[in-house]
Amino acid sequence: MLQVAAYTGGFNIPSARFRVRQYIENLKDNGINLDEIISQSGSFPPRKKIDRLLWVTKTMLEQVPRVALSKKYDVTLLQREMISTYYTFERFTKKPRVLDVDDAIFLNNGGDFAKKLANNCQHIICGNEYLANWFYPWNKNITIQATAVDTNLYKPIEQINKVDAVVVGWIGTSSNLIYFNEIKKSLDHIVSIFPNVVIKVVSDKNPGFHNINKNNYDFVKWTIEGEIDVIQSFDIGIMPLKNTEMAKGKCSFKMLQYMSCGKPVIVSPVGMNITVLKKGNFGFGPNSTDEWVDALKLLITDRNLRAEMGRIGREIILNNYSTDIIGPKFASILKSMA
């Protein structure tokens, strides 16, 4: 059985959960034993400057024994950089190395660390075409692999005794709440004409949308245990983005989660979102405030359309973005490195 050491940046880091950890059993079925070597101090520094010196010391001391572990494995999988925006201990891990990237990390700190990472790995797995195009000059051995959804867990459920409220939902880390500024006017207008609409935000921090009537707003503190249930409570899933280089690097995972749970989606047509939207009639990609309002109105008022778009979206996930589809492909990449 092929032995793979996977270095990730923390237990709750989404990329670690969905691009590494969720494949462990799937890979085992394909002849690969993957051990996740999780950073206990995390790969991202604390926000408070006063805490950073202690974090740097702790992180540096942690890396030495972590790196040494790679020597007993056949392949090293690096999930992004070990210390955010720096090329550090990666060079001391055992070859062959596979770098997995699901974000535009090269936009930080001048991007030189990302080039060094690429040059010193034998293969790169990129979450979308935009990322692959950037890394290609630094490493020609690239595979595009979307972030898959476990369709056995993220699945539609029948909502029994559903009240008349229509839930427009968003899930994500608080750093991405800035994208709500792109649709603020649209949401303001929607809740002013549809008193039964609830804007449900699921995150690690409450965004405090004070402009929205409290009866039209619901904040849910994110937990691993409650993540699937809360997405299943949505009627419509939204993913607003700004058309920036950072947004183009995103891998549409919110969108894919909504679709897997049978929810119609309204997403900004940016980056990979455009690629997914082209696969079928399961949602909308509005470009303006008026188009967001029109798309929301249509889905809010038409329950049957929501159901049909949700069904189509679920089929697209099953055929393209399920762990059952992508897992064996991931296994093939890792085996080719041995």
* Residue-wise pLDDT tens digits, 160-177: 656 678 999 999 998 898
Tell me: do 266 and 143 sit in the same domain.
Answer: no
Average pLDDT over residues 212-221: 80
Tell me: do 315 and 173 sit in the same domain.
Answer: yes
Average pLDDT over residues 111-122: 97
Average pLDDT over residues 267-276: 98
Residue 265 banded pLDDT, cuts 50, 70, 90: very high
Tell me: do 124 and 250 sit in the same domain.
Answer: no
Per-residue pLDDT of 123-160, as tens digits, reads 999 999 999 999 999 999 999 999 999 999 999 998 76
- Residue 93 included in any domain: yes
pLDDT at residue 214 is higher than 70 = no
Q: How many helices (H) and strands (E) does the chain have?
A: 13, 12
pLDDT at residue 211 is higher than 60 = no
pLDDT at residue 57 is higher than 90 = no
Average pLDDT over residues 275-302: 97
Tell me: do 193 and 316 sit in the same domain.
Answer: yes
Residue 73 banded pLDDT, cuts 50, 70, 90: very high
- Residue 155 included in any domain: no
What pLDDT is recorded for position 59? 81
What pLDDT is recorded for position 62? 83
- Residue 154 included in any domain: no
Tell me: do 104 and 182 sit in the same domain.
Answer: no
What pLDDT is recorded for position 41? 78
What pLDDT is recorded for position 87? 93
- Residue 153 included in any domain: no
Instruction: Give the other-Cβ count within 10 Å of 304's Cβ.
Output: 7
Residue whose C-alpha is closest to residue 310's, from 288, 281, 267, 330: 281
What pLDDT is recorded for position 181? 84
What pLDDT is recorded for position 210? 53
What pLDDT is recorded for position 161? 55
Tell me: do 78 and 118 sit in the same domain.
Answer: yes
pLDDT at residue 29 is higher than 70 = yes
What pLDDT is recorded for position 331? 98
What pLDDT is recorded for position 209? 65
Q: How high does pLDDT run on average in the chain?
A: 93
Residue 215 banded pLDDT, cuts 50, 70, 90: confident
> Rounded to whole angstroms, how far apart are CA atoms 168 and 234?
6
Q: How many domains does the chain have?
A: 2
Tell me: do 85 and 183 sit in the same domain.
Answer: no
Tell me: do 247 and 134 sit in the same domain.
Answer: no
Geometric angle at alpha carbon 262, from 102 and 255, rounded to 5°: 25
In sequence order, what are the beta bridge partners of 76? 5, 97
Average pLDDT over residues 173-199: 91
Average pLDDT over residues 70-96: 94
pLDDT at residue 51 is higher than 80 = no
By the 8 A CB rule, do 149 and 170 touch? no
Mapping DSSP to helix (H, G, I), strand (E, B) and coil, where does residue 262 land?
A: coil
- Residue 160 included in any domain: no
Tell me: do 115 and 179 sit in the same domain.
Answer: no
Highest-pLDDT range among 153-157, 180-184, 204-208: 153-157
Question: What tokens appear for 231 in the block?
Answer: 């997405």
What is the domain extent for residue 298? 166-320
- Residue 229 included in any domain: yes
Spell out where the chain has E strands. Answer: 2-8, 32-38, 75-79, 97-101, 123-126, 142-144, 166-171, 197-203, 217-221, 236-239, 265-267, 283-284
Tell me: do 278 and 290 sit in the same domain.
Answer: yes
Residue 116 banded pLDDT, cuts 50, 70, 90: very high
127: CATH? 3.40.50.2000
What pLDDT is recorded for position 1? 95
What pLDDT is recorded for position 121? 98
Tell me: do 313 and 326 sit in the same domain.
Answer: no
- Residue 17 included in any domain: yes
What pLDDT is recorded for position 160? 61
Q: What is the pTM of this model?
A: 0.93
Tell me: do 141 and 170 sit in the same domain.
Answer: no
- Residue 82 included in any domain: yes
Of residues 101 and 45, more confidence is placed in 101
